[in-house]
Amino acid sequence: MNAAEPTTTAPALSLPALAVTCPACGSKPGELCTSHSGTRPRRNDVHRARTTAHNTPTT
């Protein structure tokens, strides 16, 4: 079921928002966001909510 292409080459891995858990899809820090109920990794970007969460202090 895995895609042939390794996720290590995903452009989204360079986004700073990967440092936080995504509130939209639940991806953990360091993991790509997923779409379609988690069946497809978002290799080129992350959810907007994740970027917002990264830019918003939680304390």
- Using CB under 5 A as the criterion, which residues of the chain lie in contact with Zn ion when the complex forms? 22, 24-25, 33, 47, 50
Q: What is the dihedral of CA 10, 12, 15, 20, to 10 degrees?
A: -110
Smallest separation (angstroms) from Zn ion to the CB of 53: 10
Show the tokens assigned to 15.
Answer: 């986004």
Smallest separation (angstroms) from Zn ion to the CB of 32: 8
Query: DSSP for 8-29?
Result: GG-GGGG-GGGGS--TTT-PPT
Give the residue with the Cβ less far from Zn ion, 9 or 37: 37
Smallest separation (angstroms) from Zn ion to the CB of 57: 19
